[in-house]
Amino acid sequence: MISLPVQPLDLAKIKTSRSRPRGVQTHSGATVEGQWFDRVATGERALGQLGTSRPAQMATRIHARSLSLRIKRPSTNAPPFSSFFPFRFLSPPHPKEHKKPNFVPCSRFSFFSSHFHTLYFTSLSALSTQHLPRFLFVMSGYFTESQVASHSSENDCWVIVHGSVYDVSNFLGEHPGGKVFCVFLVSMEMLFGNVFANDQVREWDVKTPTGPSDKILLKHAGTDATKQFDAFHNAGVLEKYGALCIGKVGEAPKEGTEDSASASAPTAEDDEFQFGDMVPFGDPSWYQQWGSPYYKESHRRIRRYLRKFVDTDIMPFTHEWDEAKQVPMFLFKKCAEMGILAAVAGNGHLPLEYFDVEETTLFRGGDKAIVPPQEFDAFHAFIIFDEISRCGSGGVLWGILGGLGIGLPPIIKNGSEELKRRIVPDVLAGRKTICLAITEPQAGSDVANLTCVANESGEGFVVNGEKKWITNGTFADYFTAAVRTGGDGMGGVSLLVIERGMPGVSTRQMKCSGVWSSGTAYINFEDVKVPRANIVGKENRGFKYIMNNFNHERMGIVIQANRLARVCLEEAIKYGSKRKTFGVKLVNHPVLRNKLAHMARQIEATHAWMENVIYQTIIMPEDLQMIKLGGPIALLKAQSTQTLEYCAREASQIFGGLAYTRGGQGEKVERIYREVRAYAIPGGSEEIMLDLGMRQSMKVAQTMYGAKL
């Protein structure tokens, strides 16, 4: 094992090779073969951070596995390897070292041979490669098909996919398998955030990229592999592995002329009334040239912005984050900078007192903003939830927005001004996280009978009890906890904000069937002293606050569940349109079209009902919403989760074995199928929702309208 000192990387000293992008000559005189850099904005920004990062922060321990990086020193007098590679590599740490700051627990790596040192790295399932594609490997030019054909060997392998040229020479050993090809020439602090804050150690054995998987790509080396690619991959794979793209097939545009790509016809997303891939029922009808009274231009702008964000920054990494069982912490700050956290925390209103709109991408600029703050309504929040749900992972959804979306509104709506000023700004800025802690081992939907007790003591309370299945509880800084401060029943329940740093608070991540990256936790409160200033609203009024918050929580579940059902339908249609059985595409089999039809009718019916209820939350006074909308929202939750379960099952049948395999073409459907129960049970089980919905609706009809029932 070799330990290398950390040195910042000066971007100005990197010379770009543009003629034949096979290497970059570094200021040390060493050549990194097979890798190159380009002056892309995102790349300069990311690499530029290396020159200013503190060496201690840049030091990291890297899990080693599978990226080939060949380094050749032209002379023995060349500066050390570490002068241009900004990390130090260490052997597996002693367990005590895990507590040291600025380090990420590591695996092991090896050097092979004395002259060409070959390192094999991998993108961990636990980390994000969000910042890597497009700036470490950048398209550099145009190639003819004959030029591509000359790169057809094991050491020099190019392929064409959809008119773009990909150099997969260093990727042969990783195909197939779903691992991300990446070079760690960016600050680990920027990449990881606190993704390893729980001091987990994940180890992989070093492996040489050889074996049967090499032959799969070599069969198509130097050729147009578009047909074969489409048969076995989703289109999103090209986005995820865009780092391998080195150019296009064709002639370079003459100087002064427009690139053929920029001069092409407008895409669907350029049209005000036509948006997305236009898969039948793959998006809401107002995306596909249907009129709607609910949406205006600001809704279209936020839709366009969120679509790009999800496609670029979330969807390519969803599988990795879910397998890692935690979303990276930088994602919270990213969402805060965009304004997403503020948008989902206010229950259809922006909490303008607790964040600066001019520091957010969505709301800055007044009337010229993507969404002018004065125009923001519940449909903007709906679009945010709906678009992010397209990633097809309840874990990522709840990991980013779940705790905040249900844990912060009770504080904003009912907390003292001092409590709000102390907590809300940090959460909306992504500096702190929060969760709602109500469910207990023996009390789920039966909130009135919870047993976690808060006894008065001096100037505060002493809390003892347990909470279970708490979303974001693994990493949350604050717990909006339901506790018993009075007698039995609903009249003795209060809400307290308990802080992670208070002595006696302990959490552990639970092993659940799905929503892995949501941080579902089991929480113990043992003699936790909580100041009276942390009580939310009035003592013993917590049950009312919880019930008011349930409508908001359930609508969030409805939005997510119906979009996940739509994802199942969209994925099934796309797959069925290319997969053939008995010489016929799946979508041409009547029995499978019948499945798709039943999925579509349930999704569209649920969506129409959902839009109607959202509209009522805009025009109806808040005091009436709790009375009139509680029943319909409960029924709508049951409707949406039953629709989700049906669509997940039918999509799984269409995908066959692929829907039983984690990762790959059936990734979204397989994951959604596992996560159905995470929508059908939380916020009130389907059985309770159906009973509550009818009971509440009949009561309203009798008391408010005089129905004689």
- Enter the tokens of residue 114: 């004395």
Q: Are 701 and 694 in contact (CB under 8 A)?
A: no
**So what's the pLDDT on residue 219?**
81
- Enter the tokens of residue 305: 């912005």
- Enter the tokens of residue 170: 């260093």
Helices (H) and strands (E) in the chain, counts: 23, 19
b/e for 350-365, b at 16 or more Cβ within 10 A?
bbeebbebeebebbee
> Three-state SS across 144-196?
CHHHHHCCEECCEEEEEECCEEEECHHHHHHCCCCCCCCCCCCCHHHHHCCCC
Write phi, then psi, for 622 (nearest 5 degrees).
-60, -35
Positions of the chain with pLDDT under 50: 1-139, 177-210, 258, 260-270
**So what's the pLDDT on residue 94?**
38
- Strand segments, DSSP code E, in 145-264 are 152-153, 156-161, 164-167, 245-249
Provide the 8-state DSSP code for 593.
H
CA separation for the pair 92, 280 (Å, rounded): 52
Q: Which residues pair with 464 in a beta bridge?
A: 453
* Domains and their CATH numbers in the chain: 11-249 (3.10.120.10), 302-417 (1.10.540.10), 427-542 (2.40.110.10), 548-705 (1.20.140.10)
What residue type is 319 in one-letter code? H
Write phi, then psi, for 686 (nearest 5 degrees).
-60, -40
Percentage of residues in the chain having pLDDT higher than 70:
71
Strands 117-121 and 64-72: antiparallel
